[in-house]
Structure 1
Amino acid sequence: MATIHFTERTLATQEQFVACLTDFTPGRRELFPNSADEFLRVHSEGPDHAEVTEGSGGVWERLRYDWSDPHRVVMTTVDSNLWGGASGHTYAFTPLPDGTTRLDAVVVREGKNLKGRITGLLLGSVGRGVLGGALKKTVAAVESRHRLTRA
């Protein structure tokens, strides 16, 4: 099982970031590179939760999103062609005194089959840079969507 932790600072507020995380409309890939429209399917949605299938490149997962805590979004893997067990994502937001927000993202990958276990091992080592780069792109895209610019 691979557990990967990333920390980023963003000009976006936690409300702005959560609004993007929970926007399941077409074009989601502009914010989240690993979420292609052809995989996107909303199964159910409520005021602080949703169940959504998303993915790209032949890898998909059905996630239960919970944003009932305004400082945290928890995405639990319900089904996937690769991931099972404790797999999922957590985004935690901490407002900072300078007006920025610290984003702590944790990705847990537990392979449910041979391909998943091998992919999980790769993510835990060389894939860390790929996931970190995707998160940096997401932060930049969220800031751009809200017209936030760095000085």
Structure 2
Amino acid sequence: MEKTTATPEQVLAALTDFGPGRSEVFGNSADEYLTVHGQGAAWADVTEGSGGIWERLRYDWSNPRRVVMTTTDSNIWGGRSGHTYTLRAQPDGTTVLDVVVVREGKNLKGRLTGIVLGSVGKSVLRKALKNTLRAIEARNTVTG
């Protein structure tokens, strides 16, 4: 769980912006991996990744306070892998963000990466989330 000065709408806009420069907000989404296969008003089918790891995700934000990203293909993730972001507006105008990440390795590299992320990698993931939220805040301070 993390708190940000960005509104839920600003966080949702960043999560669902698949344009160039996505890597400036999401460090694990390098522009050269980014492919939008399809997109609608409240969904997207996107491949993204970095550092030799990629996954194709089905984004669903039909509930604008909950973004569900289901892994549909990946070079290392399978099973129930994906991400769920729940955005809770606070009375002071901030947002509390709950993130659940499920990682099921579909091969040896995936299983080993999952073990690392489930243990010592948690602090790396937490830092990456904080960096993402700071980037969203900065973007909204400049443009908002």
CA-CA distance at 1:99 after TM superposition: 1.5
In structure 1, the partner of 2:38 is 44
Matched, 1:28 2:22: yes
In structure 2, the partner of 1:10 is 4
Work out which of the residue numbers 100, 109, 131 in structure 2 matches 1:115.
109
How many residues align? The count is 142
Runs of 4+ that moved beyond 2 A: none
Which runs of no fewer than 5 residues in structure 1 stay unpaired?
1-6
Matched, 1:62 2:56: yes
Q: Distance in 2 between matches of 1:38 and 1:45?
A: 19
1:67-106 equivalence runs, <5 A: 67-106=61-100
Matched, 1:143 2:137: yes
Identity of aligned residues (%): 67
1 or 2 for the larger relative contact order (CA 8 Å, sep ≥6)? 1
User: TM (normalized to structure 1)?
Assistant: 0.92
CA-CA distance at 1:110 after TM superposition: 0.3
**Which structure has greater helix proportion?**
2
**Which structure has greater strand proportion?**
2
**1:63-89 Cα distance to aligned partner (Å, 9 max, x none):** 000000011000000000000000000
CA-CA distance at 1:98 after TM superposition: 1.6
**1:27-73 Cα distance to aligned partner (Å, 9 max, x none):** 10100000001100000000000000000000000000000001100
Match for 1:37: what amino acid? Answer: D
Match for 2:95: what amino acid? Answer: T
Which runs of no fewer than 5 residues in structure 2 stay unpaired?
none
